[in-house]
């Protein structure tokens, strides 16, 4: 049985986890920085990296103590190499290198986006490759063809704002605070998604790319133009219409991607995978197209180290190890 300790510090969560054989979570500890960044209306990179420095050792200690294991019982160390905030990644990579050197265990580097894919592998043993993956988060929105675990082809991605970024920006404009994406989605649940005809950007582009900056501008212009007549009662409809404009394009392109590669499985991953409308609409569209659809639980949608440890298991089997000279890769692609 292969036991891997993984560290994740790509943005504003400090996380450590121990996973056995890529599927069995023995511990999964996450220290969030939301309260630190809230008053600034977004993640402040310098604050994020300093917080990682302060809490990473206690987080790792808790992850190990929860399992009752000693370092000697581990088979490898894994860490997120990128993409992410440069200063935040450095903390995790430096810590993982130090531990790997001290306990003389192999070091494995994992792409953060690959980690999100493996949140589904952790929870759904029935998920089989090849498949199409829609990864939707604060920093990334992309469709990938997963020929096998470790073999990825990016079919399309956002040309500007990511979905999570767009949600948070509109929420901030509406005075919902930070992070406001979840608040906006909650409000959207009571609104009419067809009340306002916001643009479905690149719906008919013929490719698998996305663009959300135009939609974001359209929503801001609508609110600004009608600010004298908009009341609190109108906010659910605005939120629901905005959310639907994002979801409709992502659902349409995901199903088209699955059909274009003739695969029968679609998975959803990333922080925005927690969005109820996105889940339900993808589920309906997949069912009508005879495609199997999977998504992770809420706790595994957001950044965590269990998904990193799960992805690292396949690197371990291939003996895909790093030297201690490795450096973080903030702009790392899938």
Q: What is the pLDDT along the chain (334 residues), one digit of tens a residue?
A: 999 999 999 999 999 999 999 999 999 999 998 888 888 878 898 999 999 999 999 999 999 999 999 999 999 999 999 999 999 999 999 999 999 999 999 999 999 999 999 999 999 999 999 999 999 987 899 999 999 999 999 999 999 999 988 999 999 999 888 788 889 999 999 999 999 999 999 999 999 999 999 999 999 999 999 989 999 999 999 999 999 999 999 999 999 999 999 999 999 999 999 999 999 999 999 999 999 999 999 999 999 999 999 999 999 999 999 999 999 999 999 9
Query: Strand pairing of 151-157 and 292-294?
Result: unpaired
What pLDDT does residue 262 have? 97
Q: Whole-model pTM? A: 0.94
What pLDDT does residue 18 have? 98
Listed by start position, the domains of the chain span: 3-116+301-317, 128-296
Say how far apart CA 323 and CA 279 lie, in whole Å.
Answer: 40
CATH of 128-296, one of 3.40.1190.20, 3.30.420.40, 3.60.15.10, 3.30.230.10: 3.30.420.40
Query: Strand pairing of 13-20 and 24-32?
Result: antiparallel
Alpha carbon separation from 41 to 35, 173, 230 (Å, rounded): 10, 11, 24
What pLDDT does residue 149 have? 94
What pLDDT does residue 41 have? 79
DSSP 187-252: HHTTS-TTSS----TTTTSSSS-B--HHHHHHHHHHHHHTTTT--GGGHHHHHHHHHHHHHHHHHH
What pLDDT does residue 37 have? 87
What pLDDT does residue 213 have? 92
106-149 pLDDT, tens per residue?
999 999 999 999 999 999 999 999 999 999 987 899 999 999 99
Please state which CATH number belongs to domain 3-116+301-317: 3.30.420.40
The percentage of the chain sitting over the pLDDT mark of 70, rounded to a whole number, equals 100
What pLDDT does residue 177 have? 81
What pLDDT does residue 167 have? 92
- Residue owning tokens 């430096």: 94
Burial class of residue 80, CB neighbours in 10 A (0-12, 13-18, 19+): buried
């Amino acid at each position: 049985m292969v036991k891997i300790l993984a560290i994740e510090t790509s943005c504003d969560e400090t996380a450590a986890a121990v996973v056995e054989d890529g599927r069995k979570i023995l511990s999964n500890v996450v220290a969030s920085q939301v309260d630190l960044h809230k008053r600034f209306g977004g993640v402040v990179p310098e604050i994020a990296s300093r917080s990682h420095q302060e809490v990473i050792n206690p987080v790792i200690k808790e992850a190990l103590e929860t399992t009752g294991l000693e370092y000697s019982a581990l088979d490898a160390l894994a860490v997120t190499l990128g993409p992410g905030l440069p200063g935040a990644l450095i903390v995790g990579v430096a810590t993982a290198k130090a531990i790997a050197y001290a306990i003389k265990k192999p070091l494995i580097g994992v792409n953060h986006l690959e980690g999100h894919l493996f949140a589904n592998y952790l929870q759904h043993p029935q998920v089989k490759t090849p498949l199409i993956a829609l990864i939707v988060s604060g920093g990334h929105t992309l469709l990938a063809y997963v020929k096998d675990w470790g073999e990825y082809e990016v079919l399309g991605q956002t040309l500007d704002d990511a979905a999570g970024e767009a949600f948070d920006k509109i929420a901030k404009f509406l005075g919902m605070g930070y992070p406001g994406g979840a608040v906006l989605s909650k409000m959207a649940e009571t609104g009419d998604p067809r009340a306002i005809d916001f643009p479905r950007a690149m719906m008919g582009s013929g490719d698998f790319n996305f663009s959300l900056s135009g939609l974001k501008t359209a929503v801001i212009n609508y609110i600004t133009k009608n600010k004298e007549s908009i009341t609190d009662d109108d906010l659910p409809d605005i939120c629901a219409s905005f959310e639907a404009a994002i979801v409709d394009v992502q659902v349409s392109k995901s199903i088209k991607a699955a059909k274009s590669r003739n695969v029968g499985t679609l998975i959803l991953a990333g922080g925005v995978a927690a969005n109820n409308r996105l889940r339900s609409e993808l589920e309906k569209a997949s069912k009508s197209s005879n495609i199997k659809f999977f998504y992770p639980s809420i706790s595994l949608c957001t950044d965590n180290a269990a998904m990193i440890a799960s992805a690292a298991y396949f690197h371990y089997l291939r003996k895909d190890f790093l030297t201690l000279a490795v450096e973080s890769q903030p702009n790392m692609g899938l």
